[in-house]
Amino acid sequence: MMNDDQLLRYSRQIMLPGFDIDGQERLLAAHVLIVGLGGLGAPAAFYLTAAGVGTLTLADFDSVDVTNLQRQIVHFDADVGRLKVESAAAKLSALNGETVLHCITDKLEGERLREAVASVDLVLDCTDNFTVRFALNTACWEFRKPLVSGAAIRGEGQLLVIDPRDPDSACYRCLYDESVTGSQLTCSESGVLSPLVGVIGTLEALEAIKLLSGYGRPAVSRLQLFDAAAHEWRSLKLRRAPDCPVCSRRSAI
């Protein structure tokens, strides 16, 4: 049960029809894994913390570089050289002292990654690493955990919500073959427009809150593509690939 301070703090959410006290209590009880505390993870972590998600696990092995500050708004001037998860955790606990924060500072892979996914309610993919993206997709499917995946490069952003509990949901592997791993583009090579990562990271938080609270209708299996230069959105229905090695019924058996 929420106390009076919590009822006041989250009142603007609780008063929303369809959100209510039940939705807030579900958020407070929820545990989210955020993989990557860069441009996407920064706004996502801020909004999940502010909205009252009870527990966050922050995973990133990287340290803050001066070139990150242009878009990774959870890191400040004085954080250059500091581990990103430590820098982020300091800001998030200042924002909401009740949020329980766990930090993973080693590379998330193999058994460690599977354990991290198995122990949470939802995963936010905020990484720019395709190998990690595919591993998160596979683990989320194995443990039936919803996955909200975002990406932004140059002036283009994309968002995909995957929910293995939904029989109509496709997965990340249905969209991309693992051969893209070798040809991956990164912001360090291609550049990225600063607020674009804020748009996509914020939408990741929005979809996560909908999935956790039961509010609205999450954009499951609909690939959202954003062209920032033209300000155009495209929404594509993603169908489950019949031969997908991760999510097809055949591979599940």
Residue whose CB is less far from Zn ion, 68 or 137: 137
Q: Is residue 246 a contact residue for Zn ion (CB under 5 A)?
A: yes
Among residue numbers 48 through 67, which ones bind Zn ion (CB under 5 A)?
none
Stretch of residues binding Zn ion (CB under 5 A), selected from 15-23, 34-42, 51-59, 174-182: 174-182
Query: What is the distance between the alpha carbons of residues 251 and 142, in angstroms, rounded to a whole number?
Result: 11
Please report how close the Cβ of residue 168 comes to Zn ion at its closest, in angstroms. 12
Interface residue with Zn ion among 173, 192, 199, 224 (CB under 5 A) is: 173
Interface residue with Zn ion among 56, 148, 171, 238 (CB under 5 A) is: 171
Q: Two tokens at 15? A: 């008063």
Please report how close the Cβ of residue 245 comes to Zn ion at its closest, in angstroms. 8
Interface residue with Zn ion among 124, 161, 174, 209 (CB under 5 A) is: 174
* Angle at the Cα of 203 from the Cα atoms of 93 and 22, rounded to 5 degrees: 65
What sections of the chain are H helices per DSSP? 4-9, 11-14, 20-28, 41-51, 84-95, 110-118, 130-143, 172-175, 187-190, 194-213, 249-252
CB atoms under 10 Å from CB of 97, counted, come to 7
Interface residue with Zn ion among 59, 139, 147, 244 (CB under 5 A) is: 244
- 3-state SS assignment for residue 79: helix
User: Site residues (CB under 5 A) for Zn ion?
Assistant: 171, 173-174, 244, 246-247
